Structure 1
Amino acid sequence: MTLSEFMNEWERPTDYISVKTSGSTGTPKEINISKANMRRSAEITCRFLGLHPGDTALLCMPLDYIAGKMVVVRSIVCQLQLISVPPSNRPLETLTEAPTFAAMVPSQVYAILTENGRQAHLLRQIKHLIIGGGAIQPELHKLLQSWPATSHVWSTYGMTETLSHIALRQLNGPNQSEWYTPFPSVRVASNAQNCLVISCPWAINPLLVTNDIAEVNAEGKFRILGRIDNIICTGGIKIQIEKVEQLLISYMDKLGIHDFAITSIDDKQYGQAIVLIYCGPREILVTNPHAREQIHDLLPQYHSPRYFVATKEPLPTTGTGKPARAAIKELAKKSLI
């Protein structure tokens, strides 16, 4: 979707617009969301970040999804000057000065900082940079510590159903935290399955039960531990996919593998068997018993992959850059037949 197409849809005399979900756990779907609630969400974000009329906002994400749409809505509602560039890993390439506000996904920020050129300098001058659509890995978090005190970097928590983020946590400076702070009008809790439950006035459902496993503290802040649909049950033991991936990141980096995932296949004996799938040569892991033994030693009991799969192509991702878990699982299954 182009900016002009979105503006045409926004200006139509209708109360709703159609938005695609990300499809991180399956096929993306279209849902209708209220324009009035989008305005309310935009106002709260601008108020929280202290954005003022005339401040500049960078649009560098696809307009097919809620994150990109909300950048435009914030610029309309809060009278920000919108700077639109094509979505890419070099979104600041044509800019001569940093915008006041920008929203990016982790892969964009990481690409800019590892290149460490003029774009990295501009990135560090953005007063408020929000990062969403994926987990903040340790290496990226480390790169974010070189920010000037006048610039703030935030990790966002939200989804299409909440019209973008409903909570933020700071990633740099003295106030950085691993706990998300909900906006004042948002309340969170966890249910019997430890899934996050969100009470948000502008969400599609006022009470939204998510698939995110979360810990909620006494202050009403929360941190995400994984997804309930990303649990592998092998031999009666429940394994959280994200936990295994987190434990393996450093070692996989040493092996030169930056594109990998944990998934599972059905197993007659154990119910499910853990699979490590990666983009790279078979010699790195599939036919390397020493490396596989190192992985076994790094992980807790019962968490080690039973199978290793190497692919020549990058692992499937969604339109917003998240791992496409269902497609990754199917790829592993086909590779092991």
Structure 2
Amino acid sequence: MQDSVWLEHYPAEVQPSYDYPKQHLARFMIDSAEKYPDQIAIHFLGKKLTYKQLLDSTYRMANSLLTLGVQKGDRVAIMLPNCPQAVISYYGALLTGAVVVQTNPLYTERELKHQLTDSGSEYLITLDILSKRVNNVLPETDVKHTIFTSIKDYLPFPKNVLYPLTLRKDGLSTRVDYSTTAHSFKRCLMEADTKPVLVEVDAERDLALLQYTGGTTGLSKGVMLTHYNLIANTLQTKEWSYQSTEGEERYLAALPFFHVFGMTVLMNLAMRQAGMLLLLPRFEAETTLKLIDKMKPTIFPGAPTMYIALLHHPNIRQYDLSSINICISGAAPLPGEVQEQFESITGGKLTEGYGLTEASPVTHANNIWGKRKIGSIGIPFPNTEAKIINPSTEEELEIGEVGELLVKGPQIMSGYWNAPAETARVLKDGWLYTGDMAQVDEEGYFYIMDRKKDIIIAGGFNIYPREVEEVLFEHPAVMDAVVAGIPDEYRGETVKAFLILKQGVQVDIEEVDQFCRERLAAYKVPRSFEIRDSLPKTLIGKTLRRKVVEEELNKQKKA
């Protein structure tokens, strides 16, 4: 670390190394509630919860889970958008010593079944409007108890009255058949004790989270993150944003908490800093602009698509965005012009960082108030090492040479759940092999050049081509298929599928689109389809995905 050239670009306020407490992750909330009991912890569409109220509800959730039989190490799946229940459930489960399994509410039955069965989750907390999808899957899983909640449970009047009417208009049902295994979130809290719960953990060894990520095989893997991993990355982020003030910041939570980026830089960090979380159940440009104008958030982490959507809103000049001081962009490359325009409008700082689920997730970031470079992911966080190697020889490369990025630090996962071979492939002597091709300049600033894996990043979501291709291969008309990420001005990349149909078979593209929508989350469904006579392949028959992309780009260029 002493020889790391990037340390020369650390601000005076940031130290190269810190001691991170080996404690229970939920202590962030408990400590803030003790210091700032009357401070607003959560603002949700007009509903407010103080830190005292939030901690009280979290203790009730923990006691309710214990009554249902949750023991230390059990997996509790949480399938919720950003709402008070998501925060209460997350920390409530952690207090019992359980391992949280964050689950995307957009998952189809197929995706949900895999995650629940692979993790061995025995408890699930989710929304009433998802009950049909959930109940179709539960018989094929180990889930013993499900807790259903409703968005209206934490809406102020009259929104709580109007909400069911809106759902009925959209054809959605809140019906739940409660039983000895299907419980009401509201009733669970009402009937539970408020006595403090904090099951002792070994922070460096005990898991706090199983965060699922995909791979080129198309199989989603559970990333094992300990209490210490998440504490370290939260505090690394805190130190990097050193001008933020404990007890005073307002965090705009547009990033979902079921995504590890939102979990760390919003939920965990806000709890550590006794900040106010301004919760958005889903990102929508005009709603976000109105919230910024009214509630004056100071910190707004996001994906590039969020900043782009706000900048392109026709009425952006009608809203006051000057409260925003700090924005850290992740999940996809940040265009330089977006950075400049957003800073011009808000007067705050928008800087790009880099991370991956296996690193809790942040490993690099540009300085917020110091030297930064457009197009770069910045420099490594405190206590974080990074290097570029030749993927074939594993020799460390010289400055400017492109190779695989390796990182090491206290935020790096302990491995993949029940996948020792995969773990051994990417974790060697403490180094995480990211699979991303990168280079570093003479000042220690890193640049992502390409992805070794064929991940498509669209709107901040990771999409794994193989998973989409496997669904397309299930279609009776499809003989061959390849899915690729095509550059898109708004989403960063967009998903396009190239198909070869079986001989003599014709198919309506809209029917293929519907076929995908029934089996994939909406953001994974290809935005366009092209039927071709052939696909470029290697001598052994492997489709050359990069070649397909090149052909598509050349075609667009000519057009």
TM-score normalised to structure 2 length: 0.42
**Superposition map of 1:215-254 within 5 A:** 215-230=439-454
**Superposition map of 1:1-337 within 5 A:** 1=80, 2-14=86-98, 15-23=206-214, 25=216, 26-50=218-242, 51-54=244-247, 55-70=249-264, 71-90=266-285, 91-95=288-292, 96-118=294-316, 121-123=319-321, 125-137=323-335, 140-141=338-339, 143-144=341-342, 146-147=344-345, 149=347, 151-169=348-366, 175-179=372-376, 180-193=378-391, 194-205=403-414, 206-230=430-454, 260=494, 265-267=535-537, 272=544, 274-276=547-549, 292=555, 294-295=557-558
RMSD of aligned C-alpha atoms?
A: 3.7
SS of equivalent residue, structure 1 residue 143 = helix
Distance 2:410 2:251 in 1: 25
Distance 1:126 1:257 in 2: 23
Instruction: Encode CA deviations 1:130-160: one digit per residue, 9 max, x unaligned.
Output: 11111224553453352455x1101120011
1:129–1:154 CA contact under 8 A, matched in 2: yes
Structure 1: unaligned runs, 5 residues or longer: 232-240, 278-284, 297-337
Alpha-carbon offset, residue 76 of structure 1: 1.7
More strand by share: 1
Distance 2:442 2:538 in 1: 43
1:145–1:172 CA contact under 8 A, matched in 2: no
SS of equivalent residue, structure 1 residue 52 = coil
Alpha-carbon offset, residue 43 of structure 1: 1.3
1:60–1:84 CA contact under 8 A, matched in 2: yes
Residues 22-31 or 194-203, more deviating: 22-31
Distance 1:65 1:221 in 2: 26
Task: State which structure, 1 or 2, has the greater radius of gyration over its C-alpha atoms.
Answer: 2
- Give the letter for the 2:300 counterpart: A
2:230–2:360 CA contact under 8 A, matched in 1: yes
Alpha-carbon offset, residue 104 of structure 1: 1.1
Alpha-carbon offset, residue 173 of structure 1: 9.5
Instruction: Encode CA deviations 1:221-251: one digit per residue, 9 max, x unaligned.
Output: 21100111249xxxxxxxxx88xx66xx6xx
- Give the letter for the 1:53 counterpart: E
Count of residues paired in the alignment: 267
Structure 2: unaligned runs, 5 residues or longer: 1-79, 81-85, 99-205, 392-402, 415-429, 456-483, 499-534
- Give the letter for the 1:72 counterpart: M
Distance 1:185 1:257 in 2: 33
Distance 1:119 1:64 in 2: 32
